[in-house]
Every structure is written in structure tokens, then in C-alpha cells.
Amino acid sequence: MPKTLEDLFLLEVQDMLSAERQITKALPKMIENASDEELRTGFEEHLEQTNEQVNRLERVFEIFDRKPRAKKCVGMEGILEEGEEQMEKIHDPHLRDAAMIAAAQKVEHYEICAYGTLITWAEQLGQNEVANIFKETLAEEKQTDQRLTKLAKSHVNAEAIAS
């Protein structure tokens, strides 16, 4: 059990290391199942970004002179399982693309919440370098969320309606 804010902070960093690693395992299947070329490209780019986010989390452990150790993120596990289940059950490619965007946005919103908290805690702990690392990740997550919204609104949802 955490006894200090730093303990709680590091516990959340462990949780997010697990979450990001889970995402790196889920994205290849999403890439494979995306029928929309722009969506597939977005997932491919986000996989590269997520791998870099894992590296950043590992760097945070180094700053705290700790070994990078993940704590199973059951929240992300549930979100990803739900998305995978939909992907497997929806056979229409346009409808599946719309469902994958919704699932991916759930992931992004979870991450936005977690990184916002980590930034606040890092700042309060006087860890400005760490806060800046997480600000970079948070900006990427928000950008991905906006890109997914744009894709859904521009054509993916309309294609799902028409199919």
C-alpha cells in the first residue's frame, strides 16, 4: 500500500507501463482489421508512438532510480478486451472500423486522465523533468483522440451507416 504521494505516483507509473505495453500488443490486430486506409495508417503511427511512450515511462523509473516494473493495469485490460470482442463479432468492415474508433477513443481517454494526474503529481513532487516527459505523452494522446474524432466524423461513421 502506498504511504506517500511519491509511492502513489510510482504505482500509477507502473500501471501506465502495463497499460502502454498492453496497447502495443493490441494495436497490430487493430491494424490488421482496419479496412479504412487512413485508420490503418493512424493505428500504425500510434503503435510507433506508443513504443516511444513505453521508453519514456522506463526513463521515469531511471530518474527515480527504480527498475522499470509494470503493475497489471486491469482498467486497460478491460477496455482492450471489450474492443477486441467487438472486433471479432462485427463482420461488416465499415461498422468494425467505427467500433474500433470508439474503442480506441476509450483507450485514449483513459490515458489522457492518467497522464493528466501524473503531470500534476510530478509537479507537486518537484519533478519538473518528469512532468515534461508526461506532458509530451499527454499531447500525443490528445492529438490521437482528435484524429480519431476527425476520421469518424469525416467518413468512417457515414460508411458504417451506409453499409
pLDDT digits (tens, 9 = 90+) for 115-154: 999 999 999 999 999 999 999 999 999 999 999 999 999 9
Q: In percent, how much of the chain has pLDDT > 70?
A: 100
**pLDDT tens digits, residue range 61-116?**
999 999 999 999 999 999 999 999 999 999 999 999 999 999 999 999 999 999 99
Q: Distance between CA atoms of 33 and 39, rounded to whole angstroms?
A: 10
The residues, ordered by sequence, that sit 6+ positions from 79 with a Cβ below 8 Å of its Cβ are 103, 106, 107, 110
pLDDT for 32 equals 97
pTM of the model: 0.95
Give the CA distances from residue 140 to residues 19, 46, 47, 50, 52, in Å, rounded to whole numbers and listed in that order.
Answer: 15, 9, 12, 9, 11
